[in-house]
Amino acid sequence: MGSSLTVRPARVEDVAQMARVHVRGWQETYRGLMPDAVLDDPSFPAARERFWTAALTDERYRANRAAVAERDDKLIGLAMSGPPLDAAAAWARQLYVLYVAAAEHGTGAGPALLQAVIDPGESAALWVADPNPRAQAFYRKHGFVADGTAQVEDGVREIRMVRDVRAPSPVR
């Protein structure tokens, strides 16, 4: 891990690598939580490529922020945030995607990606698999707390975590 980490905005030419990292992230994170048939579906990478192409080019996602992490010119992580789907949400941003290759956990890629798509001063929310103690601990370290809300998405139980950031009063 001696080479430096680069985090930058995602580009359309990254889509194939982003899809691979996204699929691998699901496989590393959700194996045992969702059926292997879903994780190993041969059409899964192509579906993720379509997703990322739309996320980076479609006008309806213009308010989203997508970033990638690279080491040695190889994509090792990705993240995306956007406006909350619920217009009445009490937070400014929603974290929709954050995956870092398991071999890169603990290298700083996760915090760098999180900061690239959600400003530290922004209130935010996310859904995280439960159980997923490593990810939940990561988000707690970055100011998120479980708010007691749970859902089942793609057969996986998820809990919502929120970060309520109160803007400091301007100094006059």
> What pLDDT is stored for residue 125 in this prediction?
97
pLDDT tens string 20-34: 999 999 999 889 888
Residue 103: CA count within 13 A, CB half-sphere:
8
Asked if 130 contacts 157 with a C-beta cutoff of 8 angstroms, the reply is yes
Query: Quick one: CATH architecture of 5-163?
Result: 3-Layer(aba) Sandwich (3.40)
> What pLDDT is stored for residue 3 in this prediction?
83
Q: DSSP readout, the chain?
A: --SPEEEEE--GGGHHHHHHHHHHHHHHHHBTTB-HHHHT-TTHHHHHHHHHHHHHH-GGGTT-EEEEEEETTEEEEEEEEES-SSTT-SSSEEEEEEEE-GGGTTSSHHHHHHHHHS-TTS-EEEEEESS-HHHHHHHHHTT-EEEEEEEEETTEEEEEEEE--PPPPPP-
Residue with token string 């970060």: 163
The tens-digit pLDDT sequence of the chain (172 residues) is 458 999 999 999 999 999 999 999 999 988 988 889 999 999 999 999 999 999 999 999 999 999 999 999 899 999 999 999 888 899 999 999 999 999 999 999 999 999 999 998 899 999 999 999 999 999 999 999 999 999 998 888 999 999 987 644 444 4
CA distance 30 to 25: 8
> What pLDDT is stored for residue 68 in this prediction?
98
> What pLDDT is stored for residue 166 in this prediction?
61
Domain residue spans in the chain?
Answer: 5-163
pLDDT tens string 36-47: 999 999 999 999
Q: In what order do the strands lie in the sheet with 65-71?
A: 5-9, 65-71, 74-82, 93-100, 124-129, 156-163, 145-153
Give the number of residues written for the chain. 172
